[in-house]
Chains A and B, each alone.
Chain A
Amino acid sequence: MGEWRRVFGNPRRLAALGLIVLLSAVFFVVERMDYFGRDSISVLLDGERYYAGLTARLRGQSPEDIGQFLADEEQLLNDYSNYLFAAANGVDPTESMSASPEEVEAAAREHVYLSALKDMDDAAAHRRIDVAASRVQELRDEAKHIAGYADYLDNIQAQAERQAQTALFGKENSFTRRNLARTAEEFAALRGVKVEFGANRAFEGWIDYELADYLYLLVIVIFLFAFLEEREAGLWGVIRTCRGGRLPLGLQRAGILFCAAVLGTVLIYGVDLLCSLVLSGGWDDMGRSAQSLLELRTMTRRVTIGQWIVEYLLVKAASGFAVGLFLWCLLDVIFNVQFSLAVLLVPVAVEYSLFTFLPVQSILNPLKYINLFSYIRTSVLYTQYLNMDLLGWPVGVRQLALTGLPVLTILFFAWAMLLQHRRHPAEDRDILSAAAGAWDRWADRVRKHFTAGGWEIYKTMVFQWGLLILIVIFLTSGNQNYIRYSTGVDRDPDYEEYLEDIQGPLDGSLEDYFASARANAGGDGKLLSALDRVEAHVAEVRARAEAGGYEPWIVASQWYYESIYGENSRDLQRMNASAAIVFLILCCSGSWAFEQQSGVVLMVRSLRRGRGSVFAGKLLSAGLMTAFVWAMVYVREFLVFVRLFRTAELAAPVGNFDTMAGFPLNITMGQYLFLLYFLRFMMLYLLAMVILFVSRQVPTVELSLIFNFVLLGLPGVLFALGIDIFGFLSPVIPVSSAELLWGLRDRDVSCLVPWLIWLVIGAAAGCLTWRDWCEGRRE
């Protein structure tokens, strides 16, 4: 039992497992959110309660009745949204509503979900209506699926018969013809299967949740790395000389790997499913046929949802075991554990590329489906019906993968046991070491020209995985959202068109323009009303500019500015700032901790340039990382902005923007944005100083990441998700900076406080780290 206890009793491994399960559940819930922002959790819960209420009410009804009810519900949501907008903006709602305001108000009062919205502010109520509309749409799709499933099956048969008679679909013995016949035959078995309405959201969200598959893989890898620990500790030879150190140990480890696969399946997928059922309901819907789920409509076996879940979890555990055995074999081939990550990453990347990029019907498609990722993204086997061309015969990809699973498991198991038995640790015939040696011979020619600062950057990028982290950030930060269009803004196209005509500096009289525009408008009341508004706006801009002492300017595309930098986008600004903070933690946490972990501090500090120069190198490296994170998060935002906004208007004095009217500095919008982006960079760099300070206090990179994340990252994320108390503890607001600049419009000097606090914290952290490294003597 020693090996079992060593692997399963390791607190760090268990903590990592717990953290992965927690992350999986958290991201699962986050993925269910339609909206990210201050009240995102309550919006989600309200929406899920609404969904559960609707499914409970509609369960057992005919598809037609369900469809009708949902159409009415959708209309009511739409009417109530228009009603609220009209009430908030003082406009006439009758044009955009299907019933009178009184009727809509009365219906909303009786409605369980809508009645709760009347005490909320306009934006919060609209968010909830949007979410409800999205849930209704899901249920309408489901109702359509239920109503049309029999026709769908008939269509497959009819299509097969029709195509079989067409020469275009090949000869009698061709793959195409056989495929048609097989498809028809398999789907024929589903005829008469009873599809029923129910709470599908819980199951479909769970099936679609891709991240769980990769986190599950991570669990397997964590347990595999436990098998390499003796190599890292230099004990490989010792273990192998023990009586039970070869095959018996290999068998024990295979057992451990199997248990890890089962444990990972139960904890990750089980917890996610539990979260899903708690959120959306569906406990009573597991007795329905699996085909009742839209995602499983192409599954050609008659099972209930509950049976399918059990089968799916068993396949998951078996797949995890097989994948684990395969990766274990790969890891066992290497002698040098330094290459273990590369050994895993390269084949996994190749398999992922084949799985993702090979076309569905390709001559190489066995490589796509007999693939590591078929066993990692197992849900694809159930949600896609596909027959593969195997020497002219159609073979179901799911059947092939599932039949192949025990065969592959036995093969990998035998290979793993052979390696366990036959490996000779002292042989040192390692191809990877030889390849790395050849690379290092070449690289040393370049590296010997590095300066001390260059070495610091190299250490950050290569030894601390900085380059890999930057690539990941580059790939993931592209998904960030920067625009929050105002849903409650009535955009008058006539008004906007007139503004576009006169946009630019107001350097002359517009009387001729207005006279001609009025003449052209004739008696059109809408156009004349828009012109009145434009004239009033021009007068206001002129008056404001005169009072402020700057050039008056008509900015036509203010709406885009508001959508990205305005108060409407406050939540997005905070989310993006918290993402930047997390990225920076990943990039900079290794800094000093790496020196401590390498055990070189005494030696480096005793060198002539081992203090100031090394410290300067760390600052330079942190600066580069900060610049990259800043560019990934904020330059992208600016690029989004300039795509929408007329760049000529960057020269407009900032006071001409309606929402920036009180801004105390007489600068242009371009200068304002420069100030905003400069402040963000500065705050991120000061934050990097705090991260470096924490990094200097801990002995390992791992601990530095944990401490920095707990101290800086987590409060930021929690604040961005709407838990206000963390606003005081996190640097999100100063990093975002936008809302602090809004404070200046109202001459509110208290908005300077968060900047000042973090300025002091960052500067103090930088000074303390400098003192500690350059002057301190505590090693």
Chain B
Amino acid sequence: MELKLTNVQKRYGQLLALRNFSVTFERGIYGILGANGAGKTTMMNLITDNIKRDGGSITFDGREILEMGSEFRGLLGYMPQQQGIYANMTTESFVTYIGRLKGLKGKKLAAGVDEVLELANLNGMRHKKTGLLSGGMKQRVLLAQALLGDPKVLILDEPTAGLDPKERVRIRAFIKELAEDRIVLLATHIVSDIESIADQVMLIKNGKLLRMAPPDELIAALPKDWEPVAHHLSLEDVYLYYLGE
């Protein structure tokens, strides 16, 4: 299983959001770090085919994703950064609706909905309108819908934002578990989330991939004279060193 971006280019007017961006994803968790406007969300929108690319190719197992169309989207689980949700639907209705649009039906859909609501710890909120949920709970609903249907490529934009520490740890552990047989792209500003679960960390700056390596390697590659932010060197130091300006 391989998702490959080759020389991908995206421009918003004069601004070049991604420039000759090339990266290959295989099974595992990819933590994506970058300042606001670095190009993280643009990259995700290109993979989900929500924006038009100006150049390059994106392939999944060697096939162009635009040609795969709905076949590729059938492999995707996407949790956007924006908390867009139908406020009048209940949690169960919302996840069921998304399940329908993922092509699930019958018992498979019902079992899938039960499973993801359990995983996201939303069983108590099943019949509550999503518009009445707190920000953290909405975040869990969005995560639940992304997980539905056993996606092979999971794209999570700020999945743990707004969650309490206990919930974050739970979700992190769950994502780690999921990554065994799929590609997980995880963009977040909470560096510690990535540090503990990511197999690879991508550093993006000004639309370019600066580095991609396991967290330990990135930390080890820091200059010897770098003053750690806390008591010891961590991924936060990597972030500040490479992207801090």
Chain A: residues with Cβ within 8 Å of the partner, total of: 39
Option from B45, B92, B93, B142 in Cβ contact (under 8 Å) with A779: B45
Q: Which residues of A contact B79 (CB under 8 A)?
A: 603
Q: How near does chain B come to A140, taking the closest CB pair, in angstroms?
A: 57
Pick the contact of A607 from B87, B90, B101 — CB < 8 Å?
B101
The closest CB in chain A to the CB of B81 belongs to A602
Q: Is the CB of B100 within 8 A of A450?
A: yes
The answer to whether B80 touches A338, judged by C-beta atoms less than 8 angstroms apart, is no
Pair B78/A609 contact, Cβ less than 8 Å:
no
If the complex has contacts A338-B131, A598-B85, are A448 and B74 also in contact, measured as CB distance less than 8 A? no
> Is there an interface contact between B110 and A607, defined as CB atoms closer than 8 Å?
no
Interface core residue of A336, A437, A598, A778 (most chain B CB under 10 Å) = A598
Min CB distance, B85 to chain A, in Å? 7
| Residue ID in chain B nearest A601 by CB atoms | B84
Interface residue B2 (Cβ < 8 Å from any Cβ of A): no
Interface residues on B, range: 35 or more
A497 located at the interface, meaning its Cβ lies under 8 Å from any Cβ of chain B in the complex: no
**Residue from A436, A603, A614 within 8 A of B129 (CB atoms):** A436
CA distance in complex: A440, B86 (Å): 15
Q: Closest B residue to A596 by CB, please name it.
A: B84
Q: Indicate if the CB atoms of B126 and A602 lie closer than 8 Å.
A: no
| C-alpha gap A605/B98 in the complex (Å) | 11
Contact between chains at B132 and A448 (CB < 8 Å): no
Measured in the bound complex, the distance between the Cα atoms of B49 and A605 in whole Å is 8
* Residue A451 is within 8 A (CB to CB) of chain B in the complex: yes
Within 8 A of A (CB), among B178-233: none
| Chain A nearest Cβ from B41, distance in angstroms | 10
With an 8 A cutoff between CB atoms, is B145 at the interface? yes
Query: A441: which B residues are within 8 A, CB to CB?
Result: 127
On whether the beta carbons of B49 and A777 are closer than 8 Å, the reply is: yes
> Which of chain A's residues have a CB closer than 8 A to the CB of B52?
776-778
Q: Contact check, B127 vs A440: say whether CB atoms are below 8 A apart.
A: yes
Q: How near does chain A come to B181, taking the closest CB pair, in angstroms?
A: 19
Chain A neighbourhood of B127, CB < 8 A:
437, 440-441, 444
For residue A421, CB closer than 8 A to chain B, the reply is: no
**From B83, B103, B132, contact of A599 by CB (8 A):** B83
- Is A459 within 8 A of B78, CB to CB? no
CB-contacts of A437-473 with B (<8 A): 437, 440-441, 443-444, 447-448, 450-452, 455, 459, 462-463
**Closest residue to B135 on the A side, CB-wise?**
A234
Q: Find the B residue at minimum CB distance from A428.
A: B132
Alpha-carbon separation in the docked complex, A497 to B243 (Å): 96
A529 adjacent to chain B (CB < 8 Å): no
Contacting residues, chain A, for B113 (C-beta < 8 A): 448
In the complex, are the beta carbons of A338 and B129 less than 8 A apart?
yes
Which residue of B is nearest A336, CB measured?
Answer: B132
Does B240 count as interface, using CB distance less than 8 angstroms? no
Nearest B residue (CB) for A611: B70
A669–B74 alpha-carbon span in the complex (Å) = 52
A608 in contact with B50 (CB, 8 Å): no
In the complex the two chains form, what is the Cα distance from A602 to B73 in whole Å? 12
Chain A residues near B51 (CB, 8 Å)?
777-779
Q: Are A433 and B73 in contact (CB under 8 A)?
A: no
Which residues of chain A are within 8 angstroms of B110 by Cβ–Cβ distance?
Answer: 448
A777–B45 CA distance with the chains assembled, in angstroms: 9
CA distance A766 to B80 in the complex (A): 28
Interchain CB contact under 8 A, A452 and B87: no
With contacts A338-B129, A607-B73, A607-B102 taken as known, whether A448 is within 8 angstroms of B92 at the C-beta atoms is yes
Instruction: Tell whether B59 is near chain A: CB-to-CB under 8 Å.
Output: no
* Given A338-B132, A602-B45, A777-B50, A608 contacting B100 (CB threshold 8 A): no
Interface status of A612 (Cβ within 8 A of chain B): yes
Most buried by B among A455, A608, A611, A612: A608
Q: Which residue of A lies closest to B106 (CB)?
A: A449
Nearest CB in chain A to that of B79: its residue:
A603
Contacts A338-B132, A433-B132, A440-B128 given: A606-B73 contact, CB under 8 Å? yes
Contact B126 A605, beta carbon cutoff 8 Å: no
Complex alpha-carbon distance, A447 and B70, angstroms: 25
Chain A nearest Cβ from B119, distance in angstroms: 18
Interface string of B36-53 (1 = CB under 8 A from A): 000000000100111111
Known: A444-B93, A448-B93. A606 touches B88 (CB 8 A): no
Closest Cβ of chain B to A128, distance in Å, is 53
Q: Report how far A455 CA is from B90 CA in the complex, Å.
A: 13
Closest CB-CB distance, A440 to chain B, in whole Å? 5
Which parts of A602-657 form the interface with B (CB within 8 Å)? 602-614
User: A349: CB under 8 A from chain B?
Assistant: no
Q: How far is the CB of B75 from chain A (nearest CB, A)?
A: 8
Bound-complex Cα distance A448 to B155 (A): 26
* Contact for B92 among A444, A601, A604, CB less than 8 A: A444
For A598, the chain B residues whose CB sits under 8 A away are 84-87
**Complex Cα–Cα for A766 and B52 (A):** 21
Report the minimum CB–CB distance from A468 to chain B (whole Å): 14
Q: Does B96 contact A (CB under 8 A)?
A: yes
Q: B76: CB under 8 A from chain A?
A: yes
Whether a CB of chain A sits under 8 angstroms from the CB of B14 is: no
Nearest A residue to B98, CB-CB: A607
Contact B101 A602 (CB under 8 A): no
**Most chain B beta carbons < 10 A, residue from A338, A440, A612, A779:** A440
Q: Which residues of A contact B76 (CB under 8 A)?
A: 606-608
Which B residues are CB-close (under 8 A) to A338? Answer: 87-88, 129, 131-132
Q: Does A489 contact B (CB under 8 A)?
A: no
In the bound complex, residues from chain B placing their C-beta under 8 Å from that of A603 are 78-80, 84, 98, 142, 145
Q: Which residues of B contact A168 (CB under 8 A)?
A: none
Residues of chain A contacted by B239 (CB below 8 angstroms): none
B residues less than 8 Å from A444 (CB atoms)? 90, 92-93, 126-127
Q: Say yes or no for A600: interface residue by CB 8 A criterion.
A: yes
Collect the chain A residues with CB atoms within 8 Å of residue B100's CB: 450-452, 455, 609
Within 8 Å by CB of B103, from A459, A463, A608, lies A608
CB-based nearest A residue for B49: A777
Enumerate chain B residues within 8 angstroms of A608, measured Cβ to Cβ: 70-71, 73-74, 76, 101-103
Among B27-72, those with CB < 8 Å from A are 45, 48-53, 70-71
Q: In whole Å, how far is B127's beta carbon from the nearest beta carbon of chain A? A: 4
Chain A residues 171 to 203 lying within 8 A of chain B, measured CB to CB, are: none
* Nearest-CB residue, chain B, relative to A452: B100
Could you tell me the distance between the alpha carbons of A212 and B80 in the complex, rounded to whole angstroms? Answer: 47
In the complex the two chains form, is A610's CB within 8 Å of B73's CB?
Answer: yes
Instruction: Please provide the chain B residues from 94 to 136 with a CB less than 8 Å away from any CB of chain A in the complex.
Output: 96-98, 100-103, 109-110, 113, 126-129, 131-132
Q: Given the known inter-chain contacts A437-B128, A777-B52, please indicate yes or no for A609 contacting B70, CB distance below 8 A.
A: yes
Known pairs A440-B128, A444-B127, A600-B84; A779 contacts B50 (CB<8 A)? yes
Distance of A455 Cα from B102 Cα, bound (Å): 14
Q: What is the minimal beta-carbon distance from A674 to any residue of chain B, in angstroms?
A: 37
Chain A CB within 10 A, most for which of B52, B87, B93, B98: B93
Contact A599 B101 (CB under 8 A): no
B148 to chain A: closest CB distance in Å? 10
A335's nearest neighbour on chain B, judged by CB, is: B132
A103 to chain B, nearest CB (A): 73
Q: Are B88 and A463 in contact (CB under 8 A)?
A: yes
**A256 to B90 Cα, complex, angstroms:** 36
- Chain B residue contacts of A447, Cβ below 8 A: 90, 93, 96
Tell me the complex Cα distance, A779–B127, Å: 31
Residues of A with Cβ closer than 8 Å to B?
Answer: 336, 338, 433, 436-437, 440-441, 443-444, 447-448, 450-452, 455, 459, 462-463, 598-614, 776-779
A-B contact pairs, 7 of them (CB 8 A): A450-B96, A451-B100, A463-B88, A608-B73, A608-B103, A613-B101, A777-B52
| 19 new A-B contacts at CB < 8 Å, known A440-B93, A440-B128, A607-B102 | A338-B87, A440-B127, A443-B90, A444-B92, A448-B92, A448-B113, A598-B84, A600-B85, A602-B50, A603-B78, A606-B50, A606-B78, A606-B155, A607-B73, A607-B78, A607-B101, A608-B101, A610-B73, A611-B70
The 7 A-B pairs at the shortest CB distance, nearest first, are namely A599-B84, A608-B74, A777-B52, A606-B48, A607-B101, A606-B78, A600-B84
